[in-house]
Amino acid sequence: MKTELKCDTHGRLYLNESVRETYGTRFIGIFMPDRIILRPLVDDPIKDFHELGKTLPKNITIGDMKKAIMRRAMKEAAENAARINRAAKKR
């Protein structure tokens, strides 16, 4: 889901009702050179992590997870570097 957010005159962002119902009302802001990411905060991160673990395939190993995480991190790092380079060239 993508939606445009605007600040009011006091710098506050308004999130519509469907967003608040889906993601809650507490977020952490991650500030990057070319964007801001809002991540919902969870009340019980251990419970949330435990529930997430239940969705993993039963036959996956820790080694397989580490490899998948590294592949994804490298892909995201390359995408972020390319995005930052494009933004720098526009200046």
Residue the block writes with tokens 């526009």: 90
- Select from 65, 11, 66, 15 the least CA-distant residue to 40: 15
Is position 61 within any domain? yes
pLDDT in tens, 13-32: 998 898 889 888 999 999 98
Is position 72 within any domain? yes
Does residue 48 have a pLDDT over 90? Answer: no
- Measured from the Cβ of residue 83, the count of other Cβ atoms closer than 10 Å reads 14
Beta-carbon contacts of 13 under 8 Å, excluding residues fewer than 6 positions away, are 5, 6, 7
Is position 48 within any domain? no
Is position 74 within any domain? yes
Q: Domains in the chain: how many in total?
A: 2
Domain that holds residue 12: 1-42
Amino acid of residue 35 = R
